[in-house]
Structure 1
Amino acid sequence: MILVLVQLSFPILAGLGVMKIISLREYPNKTTELILKYFAYAVSIIFIFSLLLSNLIGQWFITRVNDYAAGIEASRGQMAQQFRALAKYSSGMFTGDIIVGFALLTVSFGAAVFYLNKKISKDVLVILFIAVVLIDLWRIDARGAKYVENPNVETQFKTPEYAKIIKAQNDKEPFRIFNMKQDGSLGSFNQNSNFNAYFLLEDFYGYSGIKPRAYQDFMDVVGPVNQTLWRLTNVKYIIMEQQAQFPGLTLIGGSGKEFVYRNENALPRFFLANKVEQKPALDVLRAMKSDTFDPKEIAFVQNEKVEVQIPDSTASVFIEKYQDERVSLKVNASGNNFLVFSATYMPKGWHAAVDKSETKIYRVDHALMGIIVPKGTHEIEFRYEPKSFVISKYLALSLSSLVVLGLVISLLLEVLKKKKTKSSL
Structure 2
Amino acid sequence: MDSDQLGIGFVDALRDDRFEVMRADALRSLLIVGVIAGALFLLLKKKLSENLVLVIAGVVILFDLVSFDMNYVNSDDYVTASEYDNAHRKTPADDIAMKDAQAGDHYRVYDLLLNPFNSGRAPYFHKSIGGYHGAKPRRIQELSEFYLFDDNGIAPIGRENIEILSMFNVRYVIDTEETGYVAKENPMAMGNAWFVDSLKTVSSDNEEITGLSELNGNQLAVIQQSQKELLDLTTTHADSTASIQLVDYDTQRLVYRSSNTQEALAVFSEMFYPYGWKATIDGSETPIARVNYTLRGIKVPAGSHEIVMSFEPQVVKTGSKIMLGSNIMLLLIILGGLFYTFKKDS
TM-score by length of 2: 0.82
Does structure 1 residue 166 correspond to structure 2 residue 97? yes
Does structure 1 residue 116 correspond to structure 2 residue 116? no
Out of 382, 398, 412, the residue aligned to residue 339 of structure 2 is 412
Could you say which structure has the higher strand fraction? 2
Does structure 1 residue 239 correspond to structure 2 residue 174? yes
**Alignment-mate amino acid for residue 219 of structure 1:** S
Does structure 1 residue 270 correspond to structure 2 residue 205? no
Deviates more, 1:158-167 or 1:354-363: 158-167
Q: Which residue of the partner structure matches residue 252 of structure 2? A: 325
Provide the C-alpha distance between the structure 1 equivalents of 2:252 and 2:97, rounded to a whole number of angstroms: 24
Q: Compute the displacement of 1:144 (Å).
A: 4.5
**Alignment-mate amino acid for residue 112 of structure 2:** M
Provide the C-alpha distance between the structure 1 equivalents of 2:290 and 2:263, rounded to a whole number of angstroms: 18
Q: Compute the displacement of 1:228 (Å).
A: 1.1
399 and 134 in structure 1: CA distance in 2 versus 1, 3 angstrom threshold? closer
Provide the C-alpha distance between the structure 2 equivalents of 1:285 and 1:407, rounded to a whole number of angstroms: 58
Q: Which residue of the partner structure matches residue 108 of structure 2? A: 176
Out of 212, 219, 243, the residue aligned to residue 288 of structure 1 is 212
Task: Indicate conservation of the 8 Å contact 1:300/1:366, yes or no.
Answer: yes
Does structure 1 residue 300 correspond to structure 2 residue 222? yes
1:405 aligned counterpart, secondary structure: helix
Provide the C-alpha distance between the structure 2 equivalents of 1:190 and 1:325, rounded to a whole number of angstroms: 25
How many residue pairs match? The answer is: 321
Out of 148, 155, 160, the residue aligned to residue 86 of structure 2 is 155
1:156 aligned counterpart, secondary structure: coil
TM-score by length of 1: 0.68
Q: Compute the displacement of 1:295 (Å).
A: 4.2
- Larger C-alpha radius of gyration, 1 or 2? 1
**Alignment-mate amino acid for residue 263 of structure 2:** N
Provide the C-alpha distance between the structure 2 equivalents of 1:414 and 1:90, rounded to a whole number of angstroms: 48
Q: Compute the displacement of 1:326 (Å).
A: 1.4
Q: Compute the displacement of 1:407 (Å).
A: 2.1
Provide the C-alpha distance between the structure 1 equivalents of 2:98 and 2:219, rounded to a whole number of angstroms: 30
Task: Indicate conservation of the 8 Å contact 1:308/1:372, yes or no.
Answer: no
**Alignment-mate amino acid for residue 198 of structure 1:** Y
* Alignment deviations for residues 337-385 of structure 1 (CA, whole Å, 9 cap, x no partner): 2110112212223211112211111210111110011112222111222
- Map 1:39-78; keep pairs closer than 5 Å: none
Q: Which residue of the partner structure matches residue 154 of structure 2? A: none
Out of 281, 297, 313, the residue aligned to residue 370 of structure 1 is 297
Provide the C-alpha distance between the structure 2 equivalents of 1:82 and 1:402, rounded to a whole number of angstroms: 52
1:343 aligned counterpart, secondary structure: strand
Provide the C-alpha distance between the structure 2 equivalents of 1:126 and 1:389, rounded to a whole number of angstroms: 35
Q: Compute the displacement of 1:142 (Å).
A: 4.7
**Alignment-mate amino acid for residue 196 of structure 2:** A
Deviates more, 1:87-96 or 1:127-136: 127-136
**Alignment-mate amino acid for residue 87 of structure 1:** R
Q: Which residue of the partner structure matches residue 228 of structure 1? A: 163
Provide the C-alpha distance between the structure 1 equivalents of 2:89 and 2:209, rounded to a whole number of angstroms: 37
Provide the C-alpha distance between the structure 1 equivalents of 2:51 and 2:332, rounded to a whole number of angstroms: 30
210 and 136 in structure 1: CA distance in 2 versus 1, 3 angstrom threshold? closer
295 and 135 in structure 1: CA distance in 2 versus 1, 3 angstrom threshold? same
Task: Indicate conservation of the 8 Å contact 1:337/1:373, yes or no.
Answer: yes
Provide the C-alpha distance between the structure 2 equivalents of 1:308 and 1:82, rounded to a whole number of angstroms: 66
Q: CA RMSD in A?
A: 2.8
Q: Compute the displacement of 1:83 (Å).
A: 6.5
Provide the C-alpha distance between the structure 2 equivalents of 1:119 and 1:336, rounded to a whole number of angstroms: 83
Q: Which residue of the partner structure matches residue 106 of structure 1? A: 34
Provide the C-alpha distance between the structure 2 equivalents of 1:142 and 1:281, rounded to a whole number of angstroms: 47
Q: Which residue of the partner structure matches residue 422 of structure 1? A: none
Provide the C-alpha distance between the structure 1 equivalents of 2:42 and 2:253, rounded to a whole number of angstroms: 59
397 and 84 in structure 1: CA distance in 2 versus 1, 3 angstrom threshold? farther
* Alignment deviations for residues 290-327 of structure 1 (CA, whole Å, 9 cap, x no partner): xx331410111101352234222442212221112211
Provide the C-alpha distance between the structure 1 equivalents of 2:54 and 2:246, rounded to a whole number of angstroms: 59
2:131 aligned counterpart, secondary structure: coil
Q: Compute the displacement of 1:118 (Å).
A: 2.4
Task: Indicate conservation of the 8 Å contact 2:91/2:181, yes or no.
Answer: no
Q: Which residue of the partner structure matches residue 18 of structure 1? A: none
Provide the C-alpha distance between the structure 2 equivalents of 1:362 and 1:322, rounded to a whole number of angstroms: 21
269 and 136 in structure 1: CA distance in 2 versus 1, 3 angstrom threshold? same
- Structure 2 regions of 5+ residues with no counterpart? 1-6, 150-156
2:257 aligned counterpart, secondary structure: strand
Instruction: Give the fraction of aligned pairs with identical amino acids, expressed as a percent.
Output: 23
- Structure 1 regions of 5+ residues with no counterpart? 1-77, 182-187, 244-255, 420-425
374 and 99 in structure 1: CA distance in 2 versus 1, 3 angstrom threshold? same
**Alignment-mate amino acid for residue 181 of structure 2:** E
Deviates more, 1:397-406 or 1:349-358: 397-406
158 and 412 in structure 1: CA distance in 2 versus 1, 3 angstrom threshold? farther
